[in-house]
Amino acid sequence: MVVLLFASAPGVSAGSDEAERMVCDAALTYDFSPGIADPHWVGTLGGCALAGATIEFWEKPDNYIVGGTEHFFEKMLITIGDDTIKGDNAGVWNFATFKFRANGWVTEATGNWAYLVGYKMHEMGYTTPFPPPEGVYQVHATAAMWLDAP
């Protein structure tokens, strides 16, 4: 499992192809309750031009654990209105500190966000303890994510 979020900094307006950095904050939840057909990270973004957007992350099968650290690979989808922003990332999640960080790229974007294709994606944050206590089926994360111009 991996978690992502965005932090705040100079925001960028939709359609601003001259923007060099967009920084957002995010809150995410991974729900693996029995019966959930597609468990993955789901959350919302705030503090930036993407405020109110839904952000989702799906693990790729390449994830592995060494000691107390998960090395993860994910697909990302941000949905804002009718537009989408997609990307890939790779990162690490420490199960002792519950801190994570990841780096990746925006690979596809539609509408006013098309200029983000090729932007570098960076994120870091913290999760609630994992594994959670018995009978608890959610892990929560808060993080900062920023997109930098290529």
Other C-beta atoms closer than 10 Å to the C-beta of 130 total: 14
30 has a pLDDT exceeding 90: yes
Instruction: Check residue 113 and give its pLDDT.
Output: 98
Q: Which domain holds residue 38?
A: 21-148
Structure tokens at 79: 């949905």
Note whether residue 16 is domain-resident.
Answer: no
More reliable by pLDDT, 20 or 127: 127
C-alpha distances in Å from residue 112, one per residue of 16, 50, 84, 134: 8, 11, 10, 44
Q: SS3 for 115?
A: helix
Residue 78 pairs in a beta bridge with 55, 85
Note whether residue 129 is domain-resident.
Answer: yes
Note whether residue 12 is domain-resident.
Answer: no
Domain count for the chain:
1
24 has a pLDDT exceeding 50: yes
Note whether residue 9 is domain-resident.
Answer: no
What is the per-residue pLDDT across 75-117, written as a single tens digit (0 to 9) for each?
Answer: 999 999 999 999 999 999 999 999 999 999 999 999 999 999 9
Note whether residue 142 is domain-resident.
Answer: yes
Strands (E), 60-119: 64-66, 69-80, 83-94, 99-109
Structure tokens at 15: 């359609």
34 has a pLDDT exceeding 50: yes
Instruction: Check residue 15 and give its pLDDT.
Output: 47
Residues 6+ apart with CB under 8 A from 68: 94, 95, 96
Residue 138 pairs in a beta bridge with 31
Note whether residue 103 is domain-resident.
Answer: yes
